[in-house]
């Protein structure tokens, strides 16, 4: 089970490097001994990539390798991604980027809007994957959306830096290999999960559950209230609790980033009914090095708990 971790932003490190570079261009230009971080940032031929949310950051780094400078705007897990308000400096970063990788589906409307006003090539994962504007926005948990995002991002990297096309192709192949391993884990887990039921405190793992062949039985009234950011009616909460105490769902998924007294009552009901509980977060925890590793760990955890 995942524990809440302390989340450090890598953005600060990257930004510090850029600032240091800006104040001493002469030194960098004549190859003076700047520290290795600044030195790596000083290469002018890197593609400038901005990622709106940290869930897509690792994919951006894996494909871009050392030919791309990747900055993620939202990387603090204590911030509710649904309500994030960017600073003017965040918008400035987006307008200077060559490629902006955004989630779309209204999850990071600030990013798609700012990117639309810039000359950056914009990858809107919701659009690229065909999920569309009104779709469930937690697209990083979707196998199809990850692949669509990676393909489109690869195309944009090659457009931005034609000379390094072969390099980006090789990086993509490495990424695809890890995604294929995840697909194998999903196929393996499906032997346990396919056709079984689950309920969720929030629709964060909707696509992951779909990939696992799980059937969503979360009471409609409850889910509608949560989706509209309102408190579920007492009757809807009671229906949910009874569903769990009577073991009418085989799994409960809890988004620990959207916890409340209500979700605690639901978790307690699951424990009472011996329904396995898997906790997960919205943003990528810092103890995973990549999105595929994180999703793989969740898949394995669900498989193990539902056995």
Distance of closest approach, residue 82 Cβ to Zn ion, in angstroms: 6
Q: What DSSP element (H or E) covers 286?
A: none
Residue 101 or 204 having the CB closest to Zn ion = 204
Which of positions 245-304 make contact with Zn ion (CB under 5 A)? 282
Task: Compute the distance between CA of residue 137 and CA of residue 128 in angstroms, rounded to an integer.
Answer: 13
Which of positions 103-132 make contact with Zn ion (CB under 5 A)? none
Distance of closest approach, residue 138 Cβ to Zn ion, in angstroms: 6
**Contacts of 157 by beta carbon, 8 Å cutoff, 6+ apart:** 47, 63, 64, 67, 68, 99, 164, 168
Distance of closest approach, residue 40 Cβ to Zn ion, in angstroms: 34
Number of residues lying near Zn ion (CB under 5 A): 2
Distance of closest approach, residue 258 Cβ to Zn ion, in angstroms: 6
Residue selected from 49, 204, 275, 299 as contacting Zn ion according to rule CB under 5 A: 204
Residue 204 or 212 having the CB closest to Zn ion = 204
User: Which stretches does DSSP call E strand in the chain?
Assistant: 47-53, 68-74, 99-102, 121-124, 197-200, 215-216, 252-255, 277-280
Distance of closest approach, residue 115 Cβ to Zn ion, in angstroms: 21
Site string for Zn ion, 43-72 (x = CB under 5 A): ------------------------------
Instruction: For residue 254, report the phi and psi dihedrals to the nearest 5 degrees.
Output: -120, 125
Residue 152 or 202 having the CB closest to Zn ion = 202
Interacting stretch for Zn ion, rule CB under 5 A, among 68-76, 171-179, 197-205, 259-267? 197-205
Hey, is 256 helix, strand or coil?
Answer: helix
Distance of closest approach, residue 202 Cβ to Zn ion, in angstroms: 6
Q: What is the dihedral of CA 208, 214, 215, 220, to 10 degrees?
A: -40
Residue 250 or 257 having the CB closest to Zn ion = 257
Residue 70 or 209 having the CB closest to Zn ion = 209
- Strand arrangement of the beta sheet that strand 215-216 belongs to: 215-216, 197-200, 252-255, 277-280
First-to-final CA distance of the chain = 15
Angular region, 213: left φ>0, alpha ψ -120 to 50, beta rest? left
Residue 64 or 285 having the CB closest to Zn ion = 285
Closest Cα partner for 240 from 210, 202, 209? Answer: 202
Q: Which residues are near Zn ion by CB under 5 A? A: 204, 282
């Amino acid at each position: 089970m995942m524990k809440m971790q302390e989340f450090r932003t890598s953005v600060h490190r990257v930004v510090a490097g850029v600032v240091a570079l800006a104040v001493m261009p002469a030194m960098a230009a004549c190859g003076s001994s700047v520290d290795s971080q600044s030195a790596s940032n000083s290469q002018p031929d890197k593609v400038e990539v901005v990622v709106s949310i940290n869930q897509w950051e690792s994919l951006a780094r894996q494909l871009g390798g050392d030919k791309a400078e990747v900055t993620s705007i939202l990387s603090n897990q204590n911030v509710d991604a649904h309500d994030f308000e960017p600073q003017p400096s965040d918008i400035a970063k987006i307008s200077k980027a060559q490629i902006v990788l955004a989630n779309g589906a209204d999850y990071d409307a600030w990013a798609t809007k700012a990117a639309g006003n810039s000359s950056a090539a914009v990858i809107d994962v919701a659009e690229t994957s065909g999920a569309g504007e009104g779709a469930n926005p937690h697209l990083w948990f979707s196998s199809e959306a990850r692949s669509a995002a990676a393909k489109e991002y690869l195309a944009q990297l090659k457009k931005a830096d034609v000379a390094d096309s072969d390099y980006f192709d090789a990086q993509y192949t490495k990424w695809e290999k890890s995604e294929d391993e995840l697909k194998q884990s999903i196929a393996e887990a499906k032997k346990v999960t396919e056709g079984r039921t689950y309920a969720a405190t929030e629709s964060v793992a909707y696509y992951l559950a779909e990939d696992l062949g799980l059937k969503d039985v979360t009471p409609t009234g409850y889910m509608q209230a949560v989706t509209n950011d309102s408190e579920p009616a007492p009757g809807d909460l009671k229906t949910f609790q009874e569903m769990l105490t009577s073991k009418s769902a085989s799994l409960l998924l809890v988004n620990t980033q959207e916890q409340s007294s209500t979700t605690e009552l639901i978790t307690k009901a699951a424990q009472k009914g011996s329904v396995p509980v898997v906790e997960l977060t919205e943003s990528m925890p810092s103890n995973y090095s990549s999105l595929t590793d994180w999703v793989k760990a969740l898949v394995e955890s669900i498989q193990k708990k539902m056995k």
